[in-house]
Structure 1
Amino acid sequence: MTLIYGHRGAKGEAPENTLRSFQQCLEHGVMRCELDLHLSRDGELMVIHDPTLKRTTGRRGKVVEHDAAELVEYDARQGGPGAVQPCPIPRLSELFEKCPFEHWQLEVKSASKVRAARTVEAIAALAEKFGISDKVTVTSSSREVLRALQRLAPHLSRGLVAEYSWLDPIKVALHYDCQYLALNWTLCTPERLLKAQKAGLHVTVWTVNEPALMRRLADFGADSIITDFPGLAVRTLSS
Protein backbone atom coordinates (compact mmCIF):
# COMPACT_ATOMS: atom_id res chain seq x y z
CA MET A 1 0.00 0.00 0.00
CA THR A 2 1.58 3.28 -1.14
CA LEU A 3 1.17 6.05 1.45
CA ILE A 4 0.34 9.66 0.51
CA TYR A 5 2.11 12.77 1.78
CA GLY A 6 0.71 16.24 1.11
CA HIS A 7 3.45 18.42 -0.41
CA ARG A 8 3.76 21.67 1.58
CA GLY A 9 0.28 20.74 2.77
CA ALA A 10 -1.88 20.69 -0.34
CA LYS A 11 0.21 22.99 -2.54
CA GLY A 12 -1.96 22.54 -5.62
CA GLU A 13 -5.16 23.45 -3.77
CA ALA A 14 -4.19 26.13 -1.23
CA PRO A 15 -1.27 28.49 -0.51
CA GLU A 16 1.74 26.29 0.18
CA ASN A 17 3.10 25.79 3.70
CA THR A 18 0.20 27.64 5.37
CA LEU A 19 -2.16 26.34 8.04
CA ARG A 20 -4.96 26.39 5.44
CA SER A 21 -2.92 24.12 3.17
CA PHE A 22 -2.26 21.57 5.91
CA GLN A 23 -5.90 21.62 7.01
CA GLN A 24 -6.92 20.97 3.39
CA CYS A 25 -4.60 17.96 3.34
CA LEU A 26 -6.20 16.57 6.52
CA GLU A 27 -9.70 17.15 5.10
CA HIS A 28 -8.85 14.65 2.34
CA GLY A 29 -8.01 12.11 5.03
CA VAL A 30 -4.30 12.38 4.19
CA MET A 31 -2.56 12.06 7.54
CA ARG A 32 1.01 12.63 6.39
CA CYS A 33 2.67 15.82 5.19
CA GLU A 34 5.92 17.26 3.91
CA LEU A 35 7.03 20.82 4.65
CA ASP A 36 10.05 23.14 4.58
CA LEU A 37 11.75 24.94 7.43
CA HIS A 38 13.85 28.05 7.92
CA LEU A 39 14.93 29.69 11.16
CA SER A 40 13.73 33.20 11.97
CA ARG A 41 16.21 35.80 13.20
CA ASP A 42 15.29 34.90 16.80
CA GLY A 43 15.71 31.17 16.21
CA GLU A 44 12.13 29.95 15.70
CA LEU A 45 11.28 27.30 13.11
CA MET A 46 9.17 28.89 10.37
CA VAL A 47 7.32 26.91 7.72
CA ILE A 48 8.35 28.40 4.37
CA HIS A 49 10.13 26.93 1.35
CA ASP A 50 12.33 29.75 0.08
CA PRO A 51 15.03 31.49 2.13
CA THR A 52 13.49 34.76 0.85
CA LEU A 53 9.99 36.17 1.32
CA LYS A 54 9.35 37.52 -2.19
CA ARG A 55 7.61 34.61 -3.96
CA THR A 56 5.03 33.75 -1.33
CA THR A 57 4.48 37.08 0.45
CA GLY A 58 5.61 39.70 -2.07
CA ARG A 59 7.86 41.22 0.61
CA ARG A 60 11.55 41.93 0.36
CA GLY A 61 14.32 40.28 2.32
CA LYS A 62 15.21 36.93 3.84
CA VAL A 63 13.38 34.90 6.44
CA VAL A 64 16.46 35.04 8.69
CA GLU A 65 16.34 38.85 8.75
CA HIS A 66 12.96 38.88 10.53
CA ASP A 67 11.79 37.78 13.97
CA ALA A 68 9.06 35.14 14.22
CA ALA A 69 6.55 37.67 15.56
CA GLU A 70 6.97 39.71 12.35
CA LEU A 71 6.90 36.69 10.03
CA VAL A 72 3.56 35.41 11.35
CA GLU A 73 2.03 38.75 10.33
CA TYR A 74 3.04 38.30 6.68
CA ASP A 75 0.42 36.98 4.27
CA ALA A 76 1.79 34.05 2.25
CA ARG A 77 -1.23 33.82 -0.06
CA GLN A 78 0.85 34.43 -3.18
CA GLY A 79 2.23 30.91 -2.73
CA GLY A 80 -0.76 29.18 -4.24
CA PRO A 81 -4.39 29.12 -5.33
CA GLY A 82 -7.73 29.34 -3.67
CA ALA A 83 -7.34 31.56 -0.60
CA VAL A 84 -9.85 34.29 0.13
CA GLN A 85 -8.59 34.97 3.66
CA PRO A 86 -5.01 35.97 4.50
CA CYS A 87 -2.72 32.97 5.10
CA PRO A 88 0.16 33.87 7.41
CA ILE A 89 3.54 32.12 7.48
CA PRO A 90 3.13 29.62 10.34
CA ARG A 91 5.51 28.64 13.09
CA LEU A 92 6.15 24.90 13.11
CA SER A 93 4.89 24.86 16.71
CA GLU A 94 1.48 26.11 15.53
CA LEU A 95 1.17 23.22 13.06
CA PHE A 96 2.25 20.68 15.69
CA GLU A 97 -0.47 22.13 17.93
CA LYS A 98 -3.31 22.22 15.39
CA CYS A 99 -2.66 19.43 12.87
CA PRO A 100 -2.88 15.81 14.03
CA PHE A 101 -0.66 14.31 11.33
CA GLU A 102 0.55 10.73 11.81
CA HIS A 103 3.90 11.55 10.22
CA TRP A 104 5.83 14.67 9.25
CA GLN A 105 8.62 14.98 6.70
CA LEU A 106 10.46 18.15 7.69
CA GLU A 107 12.82 19.30 4.96
CA VAL A 108 15.77 21.50 5.87
CA LYS A 109 17.50 23.24 2.98
CA SER A 110 21.27 23.51 2.77
CA ALA A 111 22.85 25.47 5.58
CA SER A 112 26.20 26.40 7.08
CA LYS A 113 27.54 24.14 9.81
CA VAL A 114 26.37 26.51 12.58
CA ARG A 115 22.95 27.06 11.03
CA ALA A 116 22.42 23.35 10.38
CA ALA A 117 23.22 22.62 14.02
CA ARG A 118 20.85 25.33 15.31
CA THR A 119 18.03 24.10 13.07
CA VAL A 120 18.48 20.45 14.04
CA GLU A 121 18.57 21.30 17.76
CA ALA A 122 15.42 23.42 17.41
CA ILE A 123 13.56 20.58 15.62
CA ALA A 124 14.64 18.00 18.22
CA ALA A 125 13.54 20.25 21.10
CA LEU A 126 10.16 21.05 19.54
CA ALA A 127 9.39 17.44 18.59
CA GLU A 128 10.22 16.38 22.14
CA LYS A 129 8.08 19.15 23.63
CA PHE A 130 5.06 17.92 21.63
CA GLY A 131 5.89 14.25 22.27
CA ILE A 132 6.09 13.42 18.56
CA SER A 133 9.77 12.58 18.04
CA ASP A 134 8.68 9.19 16.67
CA LYS A 135 6.40 10.87 14.09
CA VAL A 136 9.07 13.06 12.53
CA THR A 137 11.61 12.42 9.76
CA VAL A 138 14.01 15.26 9.01
CA THR A 139 15.02 15.26 5.34
CA SER A 140 17.69 17.19 3.49
CA SER A 141 19.91 17.16 0.43
CA SER A 142 22.57 18.89 2.53
CA ARG A 143 25.42 16.79 3.90
CA GLU A 144 25.90 19.47 6.58
CA VAL A 145 22.32 18.98 7.81
CA LEU A 146 22.56 15.16 7.71
CA ARG A 147 25.83 15.28 9.67
CA ALA A 148 24.24 17.59 12.25
CA LEU A 149 21.35 15.12 12.62
CA GLN A 150 23.75 12.22 13.18
CA ARG A 151 25.70 14.21 15.73
CA LEU A 152 23.03 16.15 17.62
CA ALA A 153 19.76 14.22 17.19
CA PRO A 154 20.64 10.60 16.42
CA HIS A 155 17.25 9.52 17.83
CA LEU A 156 15.37 11.33 15.05
CA SER A 157 14.63 9.54 11.80
CA ARG A 158 16.39 11.19 8.85
CA GLY A 159 16.18 11.09 5.08
CA LEU A 160 18.23 12.05 2.05
CA VAL A 161 16.51 14.21 -0.57
CA ALA A 162 17.91 13.12 -3.95
CA GLU A 163 17.26 15.09 -7.12
CA TYR A 164 20.16 13.88 -9.28
CA SER A 165 21.86 10.52 -9.56
CA TRP A 166 25.43 11.55 -10.26
CA LEU A 167 26.19 10.19 -6.79
CA ASP A 168 24.46 6.92 -5.94
CA PRO A 169 21.61 8.16 -3.72
CA ILE A 170 21.26 4.82 -1.93
CA LYS A 171 24.93 4.80 -1.00
CA VAL A 172 24.77 8.39 0.27
CA ALA A 173 21.59 7.69 2.29
CA LEU A 174 23.18 4.66 3.96
CA HIS A 175 26.38 6.59 4.64
CA TYR A 176 24.36 9.02 6.79
CA ASP A 177 22.32 6.23 8.44
CA CYS A 178 19.12 7.48 6.81
CA GLN A 179 15.82 5.63 7.17
CA TYR A 180 14.16 7.54 4.31
CA LEU A 181 15.18 8.17 0.72
CA ALA A 182 13.19 11.00 -0.89
CA LEU A 183 13.66 10.46 -4.61
CA ASN A 184 12.76 12.83 -7.41
CA TRP A 185 10.27 10.78 -9.46
CA THR A 186 12.58 10.80 -12.49
CA LEU A 187 15.09 8.75 -10.43
CA CYS A 188 12.58 6.17 -9.27
CA THR A 189 13.20 3.13 -11.47
CA PRO A 190 11.90 -0.28 -10.31
CA GLU A 191 15.52 -1.43 -9.93
CA ARG A 192 16.57 1.50 -7.73
CA LEU A 193 13.39 1.23 -5.68
CA LEU A 194 13.91 -2.45 -4.98
CA LYS A 195 17.59 -1.98 -4.16
CA ALA A 196 16.78 0.84 -1.71
CA GLN A 197 14.02 -1.16 -0.02
CA LYS A 198 16.31 -4.19 0.29
CA ALA A 199 18.78 -1.88 2.06
CA GLY A 200 16.02 -1.02 4.55
CA LEU A 201 15.10 2.42 3.22
CA HIS A 202 11.56 3.82 3.04
CA VAL A 203 11.36 5.29 -0.49
CA THR A 204 9.20 8.40 -0.78
CA VAL A 205 8.86 9.90 -4.28
CA TRP A 206 8.27 13.58 -5.17
CA THR A 207 6.48 15.52 -6.64
CA VAL A 208 3.84 13.20 -8.08
CA ASN A 209 0.82 15.02 -9.54
CA GLU A 210 -0.31 12.94 -12.54
CA PRO A 211 -2.77 10.08 -11.88
CA ALA A 212 -0.94 7.81 -14.37
CA LEU A 213 2.36 8.40 -12.55
CA MET A 214 0.71 7.85 -9.15
CA ARG A 215 -0.58 4.48 -10.34
CA ARG A 216 2.73 3.53 -11.93
CA LEU A 217 4.73 4.28 -8.77
CA ALA A 218 2.17 2.40 -6.66
CA ASP A 219 2.52 -0.58 -9.03
CA PHE A 220 6.32 -0.38 -8.69
CA GLY A 221 5.79 -0.64 -4.92
CA ALA A 222 6.92 2.86 -3.83
CA ASP A 223 6.48 3.20 -0.06
CA SER A 224 4.99 6.67 -0.40
CA ILE A 225 4.44 9.56 -2.79
CA ILE A 226 4.54 13.29 -2.11
CA THR A 227 1.88 15.23 -4.05
CA ASP A 228 0.52 18.76 -4.49
CA PHE A 229 -2.95 17.22 -4.88
CA PRO A 230 -3.63 14.89 -1.94
CA GLY A 231 -7.35 14.71 -2.79
CA LEU A 232 -6.59 13.51 -6.33
CA ALA A 233 -4.06 11.01 -4.97
CA VAL A 234 -6.64 9.54 -2.59
CA ARG A 235 -9.17 9.13 -5.42
CA THR A 236 -6.56 7.71 -7.79
CA LEU A 237 -4.99 5.19 -5.45
CA SER A 238 -8.23 4.00 -3.87
CA SER A 239 -9.97 3.36 -7.18
Structure 2
Amino acid sequence: MDAEGRKCFPFITAHTGCMETLDNTLDAVRMGIKLGADIVEDDVRVTKDGIPILAHDDIWTTAAGRSISISEMSFVELKNVEVAVDYAGKRGSMTFSTLEEMLRLIKPSGAIANLDLKVDEAVDAAAELVHRLGMLEQVFLSGCERERALLAQRRQPQLRKLLNADIRLFRTSPYELAVEQTCREALEASCFGINIYHEIVTPWFMERAHASGLPVYVWTVNETRLMERFADLGVASITARNVQALADLKQERAIEA
Protein backbone atom coordinates (compact mmCIF):
# COMPACT_ATOMS: atom_id res chain seq x y z
CA MET A 1 0.00 0.00 0.00
CA ASP A 2 1.15 3.54 -0.67
CA ALA A 3 0.76 6.50 1.69
CA GLU A 4 -2.85 6.95 0.55
CA GLY A 5 -3.77 3.30 1.10
CA ARG A 6 -3.69 2.29 -2.57
CA LYS A 7 -2.34 -1.13 -3.52
CA CYS A 8 1.17 -0.83 -4.99
CA PHE A 9 2.06 -2.62 -8.21
CA PRO A 10 4.28 -5.67 -7.61
CA PHE A 11 8.00 -5.53 -8.19
CA ILE A 12 8.84 -6.56 -11.75
CA THR A 13 11.32 -9.45 -11.72
CA ALA A 14 13.03 -10.28 -15.01
CA HIS A 15 13.32 -14.03 -15.33
CA THR A 16 16.70 -15.15 -16.57
CA GLY A 17 16.18 -15.47 -20.27
CA CYS A 18 13.63 -12.64 -20.46
CA MET A 19 12.35 -11.36 -23.80
CA GLU A 20 13.78 -14.21 -25.90
CA THR A 21 17.35 -13.81 -24.65
CA LEU A 22 19.19 -16.99 -23.72
CA ASP A 23 18.89 -17.97 -20.06
CA ASN A 24 21.70 -17.04 -17.68
CA THR A 25 23.50 -14.75 -20.08
CA LEU A 26 24.67 -11.18 -19.64
CA ASP A 27 22.42 -10.26 -22.56
CA ALA A 28 19.46 -11.32 -20.43
CA VAL A 29 20.70 -9.21 -17.52
CA ARG A 30 21.13 -6.19 -19.76
CA MET A 31 17.65 -6.68 -21.20
CA GLY A 32 16.07 -6.79 -17.75
CA ILE A 33 17.87 -3.61 -16.76
CA LYS A 34 16.96 -1.90 -20.05
CA LEU A 35 13.26 -2.62 -19.56
CA GLY A 36 13.33 -1.19 -16.06
CA ALA A 37 12.89 -4.39 -14.05
CA ASP A 38 13.08 -3.84 -10.31
CA ILE A 39 14.70 -7.26 -9.83
CA VAL A 40 16.83 -9.39 -12.16
CA GLU A 41 16.99 -13.14 -11.51
CA ASP A 42 19.83 -15.50 -12.35
CA ASP A 43 20.63 -19.11 -11.49
CA VAL A 44 23.89 -19.81 -9.68
CA ARG A 45 26.10 -22.90 -9.64
CA VAL A 46 29.72 -23.35 -8.57
CA THR A 47 32.71 -24.80 -10.42
CA LYS A 48 35.01 -27.40 -8.90
CA ASP A 49 37.32 -24.63 -7.69
CA GLY A 50 34.54 -22.57 -6.13
CA ILE A 51 33.79 -19.93 -8.78
CA PRO A 52 30.08 -19.02 -8.92
CA ILE A 53 28.73 -18.94 -12.47
CA LEU A 54 25.34 -18.41 -14.07
CA ALA A 55 23.76 -21.76 -14.93
CA HIS A 56 20.57 -23.69 -14.23
CA ASP A 57 21.85 -27.24 -14.81
CA ASP A 58 25.04 -29.06 -13.89
CA ILE A 59 25.27 -31.26 -16.99
CA TRP A 60 25.65 -29.64 -20.43
CA THR A 61 26.43 -30.71 -23.97
CA THR A 62 29.13 -28.75 -25.74
CA ALA A 63 28.66 -27.42 -29.26
CA ALA A 64 30.96 -30.26 -30.31
CA GLY A 65 28.65 -32.85 -28.69
CA ARG A 66 30.68 -33.66 -25.54
CA SER A 67 28.95 -33.98 -22.15
CA ILE A 68 30.43 -31.85 -19.35
CA SER A 69 29.67 -31.21 -15.69
CA ILE A 70 30.11 -27.75 -14.16
CA SER A 71 30.78 -29.18 -10.70
CA GLU A 72 33.60 -31.37 -12.03
CA MET A 73 35.46 -28.65 -13.95
CA SER A 74 37.59 -25.73 -12.86
CA PHE A 75 36.64 -22.29 -14.08
CA VAL A 76 39.73 -22.14 -16.30
CA GLU A 77 38.63 -25.39 -17.95
CA LEU A 78 35.06 -24.18 -18.32
CA LYS A 79 35.20 -20.50 -19.19
CA ASN A 80 35.79 -20.79 -22.95
CA VAL A 81 33.67 -23.89 -23.52
CA GLU A 82 30.77 -23.26 -25.89
CA VAL A 83 27.66 -25.20 -24.93
CA ALA A 84 24.50 -25.93 -26.86
CA VAL A 85 21.27 -24.39 -25.55
CA ASP A 86 17.80 -25.77 -26.23
CA TYR A 87 15.51 -24.52 -23.49
CA ALA A 88 11.92 -23.24 -23.51
CA GLY A 89 11.95 -23.13 -27.29
CA LYS A 90 15.19 -21.13 -27.48
CA ARG A 91 18.09 -22.69 -29.33
CA GLY A 92 21.61 -21.43 -29.67
CA SER A 93 25.00 -21.66 -28.01
CA MET A 94 26.79 -19.73 -25.31
CA THR A 95 29.77 -19.61 -23.01
CA PHE A 96 29.23 -19.32 -19.26
CA SER A 97 29.21 -15.98 -17.48
CA THR A 98 30.28 -15.46 -13.89
CA LEU A 99 28.17 -14.19 -11.04
CA GLU A 100 30.70 -11.41 -10.59
CA GLU A 101 30.05 -10.20 -14.14
CA MET A 102 26.32 -10.20 -13.47
CA LEU A 103 26.63 -8.29 -10.19
CA ARG A 104 28.91 -5.69 -11.74
CA LEU A 105 26.17 -4.97 -14.28
CA ILE A 106 23.50 -4.82 -11.59
CA LYS A 107 25.34 -2.57 -9.14
CA PRO A 108 25.28 0.73 -11.09
CA SER A 109 21.75 0.08 -12.42
CA GLY A 110 20.07 0.30 -9.02
CA ALA A 111 18.19 -2.94 -9.67
CA ILE A 112 18.14 -5.85 -7.21
CA ALA A 113 19.73 -9.23 -7.97
CA ASN A 114 17.72 -12.35 -7.16
CA LEU A 115 20.26 -15.17 -6.95
CA ASP A 116 18.50 -18.50 -7.45
CA LEU A 117 20.98 -20.90 -5.84
CA LYS A 118 21.05 -24.37 -7.36
CA VAL A 119 23.57 -25.93 -4.95
CA ASP A 120 24.48 -25.48 -1.29
CA GLU A 121 28.05 -24.52 -2.24
CA ALA A 122 26.68 -21.38 -3.88
CA VAL A 123 25.68 -19.89 -0.51
CA ASP A 124 29.21 -19.02 0.61
CA ALA A 125 30.49 -18.37 -2.92
CA ALA A 126 27.74 -15.83 -3.58
CA ALA A 127 28.13 -14.25 -0.15
CA GLU A 128 31.85 -13.64 -0.67
CA LEU A 129 31.13 -11.68 -3.83
CA VAL A 130 28.23 -9.74 -2.35
CA HIS A 131 30.35 -8.62 0.58
CA ARG A 132 33.37 -7.81 -1.60
CA LEU A 133 31.29 -5.70 -3.97
CA GLY A 134 29.37 -3.98 -1.16
CA MET A 135 25.98 -5.15 -2.43
CA LEU A 136 24.15 -6.43 0.64
CA GLU A 137 21.28 -4.04 -0.05
CA GLN A 138 21.09 -5.05 -3.72
CA VAL A 139 20.98 -8.83 -3.45
CA PHE A 140 18.77 -11.51 -2.03
CA LEU A 141 18.85 -15.29 -2.31
CA SER A 142 16.21 -17.65 -3.60
CA GLY A 143 16.38 -21.30 -4.58
CA CYS A 144 16.25 -22.04 -0.85
CA GLU A 145 13.86 -24.73 0.27
CA ARG A 146 13.87 -25.47 4.01
CA GLU A 147 17.29 -27.10 4.40
CA ARG A 148 19.17 -24.66 2.18
CA ALA A 149 17.38 -21.72 3.82
CA LEU A 150 18.49 -22.96 7.25
CA LEU A 151 22.02 -23.48 5.94
CA ALA A 152 22.11 -19.94 4.56
CA GLN A 153 20.84 -18.57 7.86
CA ARG A 154 23.57 -20.38 9.79
CA ARG A 155 26.42 -19.50 7.45
CA GLN A 156 25.43 -16.13 5.97
CA PRO A 157 22.77 -14.53 8.20
CA GLN A 158 23.39 -11.07 6.75
CA LEU A 159 22.09 -12.09 3.34
CA ARG A 160 18.36 -11.71 2.82
CA LYS A 161 16.59 -14.74 1.42
CA LEU A 162 13.24 -16.05 0.25
CA LEU A 163 11.96 -19.49 1.13
CA ASN A 164 11.25 -21.48 -2.01
CA ALA A 165 7.93 -23.19 -1.40
CA ASP A 166 8.20 -26.96 -1.88
CA ILE A 167 5.82 -27.87 -4.70
CA ARG A 168 5.95 -31.52 -3.62
CA LEU A 169 4.46 -30.56 -0.25
CA PHE A 170 1.42 -29.08 -1.97
CA ARG A 171 1.00 -32.24 -4.04
CA THR A 172 1.11 -34.61 -1.06
CA SER A 173 -0.56 -32.68 1.80
CA PRO A 174 -3.89 -30.97 2.31
CA TYR A 175 -3.61 -27.44 0.94
CA GLU A 176 -4.24 -25.68 4.25
CA LEU A 177 -1.57 -27.73 6.02
CA ALA A 178 0.93 -27.11 3.22
CA VAL A 179 0.35 -23.36 3.45
CA GLU A 180 0.79 -23.32 7.21
CA GLN A 181 3.97 -25.44 7.00
CA THR A 182 5.41 -23.18 4.29
CA CYS A 183 4.84 -20.06 6.38
CA ARG A 184 6.31 -21.76 9.44
CA GLU A 185 9.44 -22.89 7.57
CA ALA A 186 9.98 -19.39 6.20
CA LEU A 187 9.85 -17.88 9.67
CA GLU A 188 12.05 -20.59 11.19
CA ALA A 189 14.78 -19.84 8.64
CA SER A 190 14.40 -16.05 9.01
CA CYS A 191 13.30 -15.65 5.39
CA PHE A 192 11.79 -12.28 4.50
CA GLY A 193 9.22 -13.78 2.14
CA ILE A 194 8.08 -16.77 0.09
CA ASN A 195 9.02 -17.59 -3.51
CA ILE A 196 6.36 -19.80 -5.07
CA TYR A 197 5.04 -21.18 -8.35
CA HIS A 198 2.12 -18.99 -9.32
CA GLU A 199 -0.44 -21.77 -9.81
CA ILE A 200 -0.24 -22.66 -6.11
CA VAL A 201 -1.23 -19.19 -4.90
CA THR A 202 -4.82 -18.49 -3.84
CA PRO A 203 -6.47 -15.65 -1.90
CA TRP A 204 -6.32 -17.85 1.20
CA PHE A 205 -2.59 -18.39 0.71
CA MET A 206 -2.14 -14.62 0.47
CA GLU A 207 -4.17 -14.12 3.64
CA ARG A 208 -2.09 -16.61 5.64
CA ALA A 209 1.24 -15.29 4.31
CA HIS A 210 0.19 -11.71 5.05
CA ALA A 211 -0.81 -12.71 8.59
CA SER A 212 2.71 -14.12 9.03
CA GLY A 213 4.33 -10.95 7.70
CA LEU A 214 5.66 -12.75 4.61
CA PRO A 215 5.54 -11.06 1.19
CA VAL A 216 4.78 -13.44 -1.68
CA TYR A 217 6.95 -13.56 -4.81
CA VAL A 218 5.39 -15.57 -7.67
CA TRP A 219 7.03 -17.19 -10.69
CA THR A 220 6.83 -17.45 -13.73
CA VAL A 221 3.92 -15.44 -15.18
CA ASN A 222 3.91 -14.47 -18.85
CA GLU A 223 0.26 -13.84 -19.75
CA THR A 224 -1.19 -10.39 -19.14
CA ARG A 225 -4.45 -11.71 -17.68
CA LEU A 226 -2.49 -13.67 -15.07
CA MET A 227 -0.29 -10.66 -14.34
CA GLU A 228 -3.46 -8.67 -13.67
CA ARG A 229 -4.79 -11.41 -11.39
CA PHE A 230 -1.69 -11.61 -9.24
CA ALA A 231 -1.28 -7.86 -9.07
CA ASP A 232 -4.86 -7.70 -7.78
CA LEU A 233 -4.09 -10.42 -5.24
CA GLY A 234 -1.37 -8.20 -3.78
CA VAL A 235 1.74 -10.25 -4.43
CA ALA A 236 5.03 -8.47 -3.76
CA SER A 237 6.71 -9.50 -7.02
CA ILE A 238 5.90 -11.15 -10.32
CA THR A 239 8.67 -12.97 -12.17
CA ALA A 240 8.17 -12.92 -15.94
CA ARG A 241 9.99 -13.75 -19.11
CA ASN A 242 7.68 -11.28 -20.85
CA VAL A 243 8.97 -8.28 -18.91
CA GLN A 244 7.64 -5.81 -21.47
CA ALA A 245 4.04 -6.93 -20.92
CA LEU A 246 4.45 -6.56 -17.17
CA ALA A 247 6.01 -3.11 -17.55
CA ASP A 248 3.17 -2.07 -19.87
CA LEU A 249 0.58 -3.23 -17.34
CA LYS A 250 2.30 -1.25 -14.60
CA GLN A 251 2.22 1.87 -16.77
CA GLU A 252 -1.46 1.35 -17.63
CA ARG A 253 -2.38 1.04 -13.97
CA ALA A 254 -0.37 4.12 -13.08
CA ILE A 255 -2.30 6.12 -15.69
CA GLU A 256 -5.65 4.77 -14.44
CA ALA A 257 -4.75 5.74 -10.87
The TM-score by the shorter chain falls in which range? 0.7 to 0.9
Q: Which residue of 2 aligns with 1:234?
A: 247
Q: 1:59 to 1:23 in 2, by over 3 A?
A: farther
Contact 2:85–2:94 (CA under 8 A) maintained in structure 1: no
* Aligned counterpart for 1:135 among listed residues 135, 138, 141: 138
2:164 corresponds to which residue?
A: 161
For structure 2, which runs of at least 5 residues remain unmatched after alignment? Answer: 1-8, 253-257
Q: Distance in 1 between matches of 2:36 and 2:51?
A: 29
Distance in 2 of aligned mates of 1:44 and 1:135 = 20
Return the TM-score normalized by structure 2.
0.81
Q: What one-letter code is carried by the residue in structure 2 that aligns with 1:161?
A: N
Task: Say yes or no: does 1:147 pair with 2:150.
Answer: yes
Q: TM-score, normalised by structure 1?
A: 0.87
Whole-angstrom distance in 2 between the partners of 1:215 and 1:200: 23
Match of 1:121 among 104, 124, 148: 124
Q: Secondary structure at the match of 1:93?
A: helix
1:4 maps to what in 2? 12
TM alignment of 1:144-223, pairs within 5 A: 144-164=147-167, 165=170, 166=173, 167=178, 168-223=181-236
Rate the CA distance shift 1:18–1:79 in 2: closer, same or farther, 3 A: farther
Q: Give the aligned CA root-mean-square deviation in angstroms.
A: 2.4
User: C-alpha separation between the residues in 1 aligned to 2:37 and 2:159?
Assistant: 22
Q: Distance in 2 between matches of 1:56 and 1:191?
A: 47
Alpha-carbon distance between aligned partners in 2 of 1:68 and 1:212, rounded to the nearest angstrom: 43
- Please identify the structure whose Cα radius of gyration is greater: 2
CA contact (8 A) 1:120 1:149 kept: yes
- Compared CA separation, residues 194 and 125, structure 1 to 2 (3 A): same
**1:88-134, Cα deviation, whole Å (9 max, x unpaired):** 2110001111233521111112x4xxxx2x42111111001111112
Q: Secondary structure at the match of 1:61?
A: strand
Matched residue count: 231
| Structure 2 CA distance for partners of 1:200 and 1:66, relative to 1, 3 Å | same
Q: 1:103 to 1:77 in 2, by over 3 A?
A: farther
Q: Is the contact between residue 18 and residue 76 of structure 1 (CA under 8 Å) also seen in structure 2?
A: no
State the one-letter code of the partner of 2:138: K
Unpaired segments of 5 or more residues in structure 1?
A: none
Q: Is the 8 A contact 2:62 2:68 kept in 1?
A: no
Q: Which amino acid is the alignment partner of residue 185 of structure 1?
A: H
Q: Which of 106, 123, 134 is the aligned partner of 2:115?
A: 106
Post-superposition CA distance 1:141-188 (Å, at most 9, x none): 433321221111111111111252233321221121111200110111
8 Å CA contact 1:9–1:34 kept in 2: the answer is no
Q: Is the 8 A contact 1:9 1:33 kept in 2?
A: no
Residue identity opposite 1:197 in structure 2: H
